[in-house]
Chains A and B, each alone.
Chain A
Amino acid sequence: MLHIINKSPLENGSLDNCLRVANGGEILLIEDAVYAATKGNAFESKLGEAATRFKIYVLQPDLDARGMSDRIIAGVTAVDYGGFVDLTVNNKNCQSWL
């Protein structure tokens, strides 16, 4: 299953809530959620722990737009919109944690 997060974990609980409930699978960080995938943010250790249970992706165009693509946390995979489509197609279902 694909879990899509679009909010910064520094301001909103969506990512944290997803990590509590979701039973493995893949997580894609888009829009303001891309800040979760950057080094030095206060959520970094939680994301690192999550990376042991989930495969974590970040949407590169949203990182680029925010000037943060030089600091992706190791273990997080960057994808473009085509990669986003592939993740949606390759998982049986998806949930947007709005």
Chain B
Amino acid sequence: MFTQYFGHYLLNRNIVSLIQLQEAMEQLENTRVKLGVLSVNAGYMSAARAEEVHQLQARMDKRFGEIAVERGYMTEEQLEQLLGMQKEGHLVLGQALIDQGAITLDQFTAALEQYKADHLLSDDQFEAIKNGNIEELIAAVLKLDASIDQPWFREYLSLFAKNMIRFIDPMLYLEVNAVPQGYQSEWLVSQNIEGTVTLFTALSMNEGAFLRTASAYAQEEIQAPGELAEASVGEFLNLHNGLFLVSMSNQGIELGLKPQQIEHRAALPALATSYLITVYMSEGSFELIVAPRG
């Protein structure tokens, strides 16, 4: 999952274009991460030194690892360890972008460092995230706004991310944003959760995101809004909330669910506090709105 996150991060920061990112994502299966990227990523070498080894490689007809070990830039053990990391998704993405000429190794390394700094991550947290731990990733997204970092919310979001990946779109990126004044929704699919935690939950989408989500969940092409599109997006929210209730129930907290509502061109109900998460998909985005009530 970090691969998708990091891809979106590169896109949002204008480091790569959408076309470059899509091309790289398509190439992932055919891309093998080279030792230069791995050794810089592991912190064994600077990008400049890796470049130096690359240039020597061109002249000496030797492997990258062989030269690096000979020159004392890394040990045999470190080389072994790097070879085992060749399948790390975000590195494969980085390599695909480098191979494509979209970015340099230096830019890739700088972007990874920037991601870590932007999300205020420790080395351990960053390791966990790179290894695909959704919980850590969500915690990092939430840490940017401490007021919403409540255990149930973290669980709600982490489950939402998993359900998005499972049913809608594996290319996922979440961002916490403020609800704008006078917020209007083109398609508002909402559902109330009741009990010790009382929540208003909603998906707010424009028509494009509505139809893409509906088609993905129904596993068939839905080309226009209508009963089937509404049922599909509604059922996705209902399924996600249902699974959240099951998870809370397993922790001894029993909550209830009300039938979902679907409205066209609607304003949000009056809510004291609400959290808005922008959900980026491979194409387009929508908002997840969660508001505690009562």
Q: Tell me, yes or no, whether A binds B.
A: no
